[in-house]
């Protein structure tokens, strides 16, 4: 049995869009997966054909943190310059979105008042 399932977490690089294909409608997007400060970001093309996954992806917005699980795909094509291009993607079977809570105004922290440097407790 061959298994091709991968899970990635990252931030959406643009608002997902619904696309009317010749046979069916699907939702697509782009996911930025960080590898840390010293390594480049991995960009994944996301495609959701399943009704529930497509609806969930369609509700997310640019910058939202998401975790996707699905089939890892490699797409190849020839660019206008004749060079072979590749794109790594995920055909989504499950998606979780993590919407940040609304920003609240932080309360100022009360400062203890000390007079001169000689008054410091250490």
pLDDT the model gives residue 102:
67
* 111 domain residue, yes or no: no
Task: Report how far apart the first and last C-alpha atoms of the chain are (Å, whole number).
Answer: 68
91 pLDDT exceeds 90? Answer: yes
84 pLDDT exceeds 80? Answer: yes
Segment 11-54, tens digit of pLDDT: 999 999 988 878 888 899 999 999 988 999 999 999 998 777 77
* Domain coverage including residue 48: 6-100
pLDDT the model gives residue 120:
46
**R_g over Cα of the chain:** 22
CATH code of the domain containing 29? 2.40.50.140
Length of the chain: 122
**Is 66 in contact with 96 (CB distance < 8 Å)?**
yes
pLDDT the model gives residue 70:
94
Spatial separation of the C-alpha atoms in residues 86 and 83, rounded to whole Å: 10
Spatial separation of the C-alpha atoms in residues 99 and 61, rounded to whole Å: 9
Q: How many domains does the structure of the chain reveal?
A: 1
* 112 domain residue, yes or no: no
**What is the rounded average pLDDT for all residues in the chain?**
83
**CA of 100: how far to CAs of 55, 56, 94, in Å?**
19, 16, 20
pLDDT the model gives residue 73:
92
Tokens of 6: 């991968």
Q: How many CA atoms lie within 13 A of 73 on its CB side?
A: 14
103 pLDDT exceeds 80? Answer: no
pLDDT the model gives residue 83:
94
């Amino acid at each position: 049995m061959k298994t091709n399932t991968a899970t990635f977490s990252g931030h959406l690089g643009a608002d997902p869009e619904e696309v009317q294909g010749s046979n069916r409608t699907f939702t697509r997007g782009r996911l930025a997966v960080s590898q840390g400060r010293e390594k480049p970001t991995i960009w994944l093309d996301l495609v959701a054909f399943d009704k529930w996954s497509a609806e969930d992806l369609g509700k997310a917005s640019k910058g939202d943190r998401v975790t996707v699980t699905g089939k890892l795909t490699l797409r190849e094509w020839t660019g206008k310059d004749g060079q072979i291009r590749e794109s790594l993607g995920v055909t989504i079977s499950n998606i979780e979105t993590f919407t940040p809570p609304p920003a609240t105004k932080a309360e100022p922290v009360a400062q203890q008042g000390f007079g001169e440097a000689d008054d410091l407790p250490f």
